[in-house]
Structure 1
Amino acid sequence: VKKIIISSLIILITIISFSQIIKIHTIEDLIFKIGLSTIVANINTGPWNQNEEDALRVVVCGSRSPLMHKDRANTCLLVVAGNKSYLIDVGSGSINKLGAYGVNFGDIESVIISHLHSDHITDLGEAHLRTWINSNRPTKLTVFGPDGIEQVVEGYNIAFGQDNIYRNLHHGTDIADLSVSGMSARAIDMENPIIISDENTTITAFEVIHEPISPALGFRIDYKDRSIVISGDTIKDKNVEKFSKDVDVLFHEAQSNYILNNLIEAQGGKGPNVTVLKDIQTYHTTPTEAAEIAKAAKVGHLVFYHLTPAPRNTIMERVFTRGVEEIFPEDWTMAKDGLLVSLPTGTDDI
């Protein structure tokens, strides 16, 4: 017993002594500077910035729908094809997530918007700022999107125009070049739906059903011998199945109407929130419907994103995906912010 008491006292004295030592400014500064060195070393060095392995990569920078979740941003996917990057939708909080992940914003070629709901465009201003300041971008940031994207981009350019001027006055042209500030809108012509085309990469838009929002788009991205499809917001749609034929990975939105109906019941079936929870059940896809599309298209892997509502615990995740395993067993993932999907070229690896 005496040995235990003595050992405990030694541990207690050691803890107290250490807590006092780290209060000494020189020790504090040493620990602080080591921490800063680690932060600086990690800037622009996320795994999606490593070019040792040629691959098509996708970083989930926002996995939720407009229904709030403290740990998730609104919809956003960063597609990295070799050494070129493209942002697919930029929901609120997504650009902050990318910065925290160590993404090099200077590598982003353009932003591609699936449709003009707020949860897909809210961070356009942040996307512009991060790809402009100190990034050596040679031109204005190009934003592709459906009809109406010109009005949205013009509005953001007006809203952030004064901020651009202030940053140029403060930091100078080398850091904040006004000649390339702002964004340039390009409406996607569905008669010629290929948005990006070079020797290695093709990004093709296709229409999906998200009425009354029209047009609403999904995208297929092919990089060398690897491919993905992003559904955008849609009901179960044959067009998604068509463009997903034999792709490596399908990123499909998912909404649990079962959970929504239980939320409605929990609120007594009344109130403005109930109206919204009922309305949104008419223009999204359930997890089992997305699994049916993945099975019919023979995709390699299914990733659920734009989760409505985004699960908050393991039980909710299991309820959300109930029935999926029977349709598309094993080869699926529920996205969380920060998920990295990597498809090395010349392989079938996922």
Structure 2
Amino acid sequence: MDPEGKSNEQEVASNDDKDNPLLGTAKDGKEKLDGQEKVDKDSMKAKVATRTPRKLESHDPDVIVVVGGVSFCHYKSILCTCGFFDTMLSSSMKESETGKIEFPDGDPEVWLEVYKFLDPLEYITLEQPISSLLTEENFDVLFPWFDYLGMEKHLLLCDNMKKKQIMKSHERPSFSMWEQYKSLPNFPMTKEAIINATKYSSHYVVRNATTKKSEFEELKKFLLDDECGDGVWAYFISTVVNLSEEMLNDLDRETIVTSPMFQYLVGDKPKPIPTMALSWASQKPAARKKMADSSSEEESSDEESSAPVKKRAPAPAPKPLPRVVASRRQIDSDSDSS
């Protein structure tokens, strides 16, 4: 016992509390949490528990993650499964000394969703694989975190999901979507899906070039883009529109696309729509049917101008039902009447 009447055990406990970043700075028998509010020790521990997604019985959390001003208590051993945190907490950076990591612009609720991917033993099972944690609802808020934290396997999940969304929607991708993903190295499938959807939907865009000018202007941006422009332009002049060889030889792509007459040139006589491109024209079945009919008319018109139309043989008359079927019906009728 020391002169002030404190036992050695009490002194050690007091020092442990002072050194614990989760408890803040001790002062007048109070504990300070996050530098904002002072509460007694029991109340503070209860508050810490509500911000700890996973609490081990063997030891307390040993690192604080502050997201948007809200503190969460975690374990280094769990966070360090991610290379971003492993490097931060094992190097000479200040976070390894203070035990505190801050994301001032982050969303606290989104952080809890991100944490589920960092703690596989807690949230991932055979019944609930990691892919099930990523949904269309949380995709847009999770993938920026995955990109920032360098979680490449999780970015692969995002890439695959976004690709499927684009393929499933049958909608024309916007150029702003392309700009969002073109600079991301971990989204090759998404970028390919955007380019393919742009190619296929261009059949619809050129047929409405003079009426839906905003869509046509979007297409022109794709045609002039420094990354995807070559591929989209090659498809455009070979499959979508009829531009003269003389024009293509004498003028470069930028001159043709930026010409005020471009929308009238491409809409004059577009090429028939390939079958694989019909489903990308519009999400509405009626619009797809209209395009299919339009494409059929164009094809038949081309055939009429080049060769005589062959008459189709009349369809054979339908065969009568087999006798066994008629007998079965008679049996059912007799059983009902009885």
Same fold at TM > 0.5: no
Higher helix share: 2
Structure showing greater radius of gyration is 2
Higher strand share: 1
Q: What TM-score do the two structures reach when normalised by structure 1? A: 0.28
Q: What TM-score do the two structures reach when normalised by structure 2? A: 0.28
- Answer 1 or 2: higher relative contact order, Cα 8 Å, separation at least 6: 1
